[in-house]
Structure 1
């Protein structure tokens, strides 16, 4: 492959390539292999960095161990706020239940403590921080508006140096995993405008495309908000509902383990108004949508706006839905016909799917088996793009591809070729790049690629096994590693974006 001025100019056999480009700088791969670089379509950069540089609770195996981690961190660090992430009480069998306010006060006396649950839709917080956020001293984690208030109070305690260090750590991690671009899903209740402004000004080789999750009602308001925030679209985590783990996803029927149906943050009229305004302004809109009731509300809004402005006008914007976990085939067909992109997170199914996982606990096995139907969505014409929702799941693209291929529900996974496309070409399309070149390595494409330690390559056809890669030249996907559940991830040796090396091992 030959690259000039950040663009691929030639791909072919080695000997003629050297003859055609005699003065080129030669980089020998020594058995390594090259792929188009990855794009992560759903991240929270600063929050990811705070976990990488601070208190990571994802490995806690019990409430006691979680509290011990908090206690040790409090003894070693004097930060104004103890910011932690990743506890998941559904995996704790010997010591179940979320950390209580009293327990946090005992683990870190006199300290402000904010511990986001793994899905970041609820958080345990110390009594001091709860009071700072204007929230009562209940023992249970905060959710919904109370969570937003407590998180905002915790954000105010972070220093500029902490935030900058966190962003660098997060983007460094992305580059080290072969990722050249991320889609930041920001909003007034998530990270705030100051965080977004700082992120967009933060110098780094990883490209950041920002989304701002705040509803508007007119095209003029949409254009003004885009200009004020510096965002590329008005979507991402614009919450229609919450998350299944925190029992805040909006459902038609009650949860299996409690009598309520979750939270509805936006109604159909508000969703339609935002979608109409963005479509008229030719701005990409989007929504965070997980539960079946929230999906139904969004589909109704899309149908309403398409009836008013026409399907082609809606489709031209490439509007997005984030997560969209509980979707029927009929709803997928409607959205596919309107050019909607689904930014989905395959590792959700790996973490929480199956007969005994979180989904089954919260929804019952029958409903749980319908979640994240990637194959049905793709078959209905919905364009898939893959993301991590980091820090909810790790920034590890190969693990994400394995999860998409080896779905816990038979028939819901996608082929390795489709999975790789959703993390490259499909991810660029989700960010508005529709030139047919981004995410490939053909003449004329941006020279955005990663070099990987090879390991075992597969050269047989995809039809032989879902664990094998296609060598069909029409797919633009070369032979690549196994994606069976136990296969190790390739190791990134170099990441290049538009001809510039942004990571080298």
Structure 2
């Protein structure tokens, strides 16, 4: 007999006097919810749920507040977000002067030669300048210690002279910015990736970062994430936490493109794992970002008639990746922001489907500049749109970054969520950690 005499085990937790939005097909709203272990055991009126409580049940009075299912963030950089918590945060810097002053103040506390790494800055939100920081400005702030400051979108770094000397990147690297043969201190795309590899955290640091990020997720109501760029070290960190019972969030991992051959050889793909930790799609970048001026467009960026952004792969190279993944039943999640990049990705998907028609639930990540024609092509191939509503608030309002880079007319066509939904294309939302906050999104 159960403790309550009703043939059902007593609840571990009972949340009562709540507005419980179940988000089921009928939009059911309940007054109370009962939980056993990690399972929602009961939904209903307060009186019904309380029948299954006893002296051991933790009863939470919600006082009329809303209770929602845990949020799922479909596009994060979760491990990296946690690591950044121990670095210089420039996300709330309101001017270039303030950002540089924070670097200067931190440099005073650091030993000569000690790296200073920061992130989160966004020049489109600065009051005194919309220009990236250059090496001369960073040299003045930190003449003796190397500095690397990553833009909020992760596609651009600003570094000082000391950092350039230590990194020693080849000057012909794509994204290594030169003016009259001299480095400006601005790194984009491939140059950013090379710098990241040289300064990559350890497995232990990533594991600590995941734990830190999980605490942030709890505060935001997020219980499941997709980490959108997981390499070998991050995978080891997630696995170590999972094996030791310390991974306290559901994580689906998008594996980096360089591991495609390993996935093929091992016969692994999306869904492999358990309820807590699973492999997700293969993550591929086809272009950069609007903020870094590297998203691949069909028409030039505003104020620069020659700048169309960057494609990360030639058509032949991207086709090879897509065809190999598709042939081996590996789901793809391809970053494509500009309309030129989206066209290229869709061309590759169409070629793969023409050779072997499969429903692998391939995805386009971001799709900020989707056209109606491209949406129709996605619908035909059952491509998922993985998009970020927070980008509208960050950059899509009048006078925002989209306006400065693209002009108002093109800005009004960005992030067409309603068109995607009306067309029947599956749509998922993620934050991209800009910011990591589903309610803001």
- Please confirm whether the aligned pair reaches a TM-score higher than 0.5, indicating the same fold: yes
Q: TM-score of the superposition, structure 2-length normalised? A: 0.80
Tell me the alpha carbon deviations over residues 230-264 of structure 1, each in whole angstroms, 9 at most, x when there is no partner. 9713433x110000110000111111121211101
Counterpart residue number, 1:9: 41
Q: Structure 1 residues 307 and 148, CA, compared in 2 at 3 Å: closer, same or farther?
A: same
Q: Judge conservation of contact 1:223–1:281 (CA < 8 Å) in 2.
A: no
Q: Secondary structure of 1:72's partner?
A: helix
Q: Judge conservation of contact 1:82–1:113 (CA < 8 Å) in 2.
A: yes
- Do residues 117 (structure 1) and 164 (structure 2) align? no
Counterpart residue number, 1:34: 67
Q: Structure 1 residues 307 and 77, CA, compared in 2 at 3 Å: closer, same or farther?
A: same
Q: Structure 1 residues 87 and 289, CA, compared in 2 at 3 Å: closer, same or farther?
A: same
- Do residues 245 (structure 1) and 286 (structure 2) align? no
- Do residues 92 (structure 1) and 126 (structure 2) align? yes
Counterpart residue number, 1:344: 387
Q: Judge conservation of contact 1:121–1:242 (CA < 8 Å) in 2.
A: yes
Q: Distance in 2 between matches of 1:226 and 1:112?
A: 40
Tell me the alpha carbon deviations over residues 63-102 of structure 1, each in whole angstroms, 9 at most, x when there is no partner. 2211111111222345942110022222334244221112
Q: Judge conservation of contact 2:282–2:330 (CA < 8 Å) in 1.
A: no
Counterpart residue number, 1:201: 240
- The partner residue of 1:44 within 77, 83, 89 is 77
Q: Distance in 2 between matches of 1:30 and 1:146?
A: 50
Q: Structure 1 residues 17 and 96, CA, compared in 2 at 3 Å: closer, same or farther?
A: closer
Q: Judge conservation of contact 2:73–2:225 (CA < 8 Å) in 1.
A: yes
Counterpart residue number, 1:81: 115
Q: Judge conservation of contact 1:81–1:111 (CA < 8 Å) in 2.
A: yes
Note the aligned Cα RMSD (angstroms): 2.8
- Name the structure, 1 or 2, with higher relative contact order (CA <8 Å, separation 6+): 1
Q: Secondary structure of 2:227's partner?
A: strand
Counterpart residue number, 1:389: 432
Residues paired across the two proteins, number: 387
Q: Secondary structure of 2:120's partner?
A: strand
Structure 1 residues without counterparts, runs of 5 or longer:
401-505
Counterpart residue number, 1:153: 198
Q: Distance in 2 between matches of 1:160 and 1:301?
A: 34
Q: Distance in 2 between matches of 1:231 and 1:101?
A: 41
Q: Structure 1 residues 395 and 93, CA, compared in 2 at 3 Å: closer, same or farther?
A: closer
Tell me the alpha carbon deviations over residues 90-143 of structure 1, each in whole angstroms, 9 at most, x when there is no partner. 233424422111221221222121100121111001222223322356124111
Q: TM-score of the superposition, structure 1-length normalised? A: 0.70
Q: Secondary structure of 1:299's partner?
A: helix
Q: Distance in 1 between matches of 2:412 and 2:266?
A: 41
Counterparts of 1:397-412 in structure 2, within 5 Å, are 397-400=438-441
Counterpart residue number, 2:214: 171
Structure 2 residues without counterparts, runs of 5 or longer:
1-32, 172-181
Tell me the alpha carbon deviations over residues 195-247 of structure 1, each in whole angstroms, 9 at most, x when there is no partner. 332234233311221111306887973646769999713433x1100001100
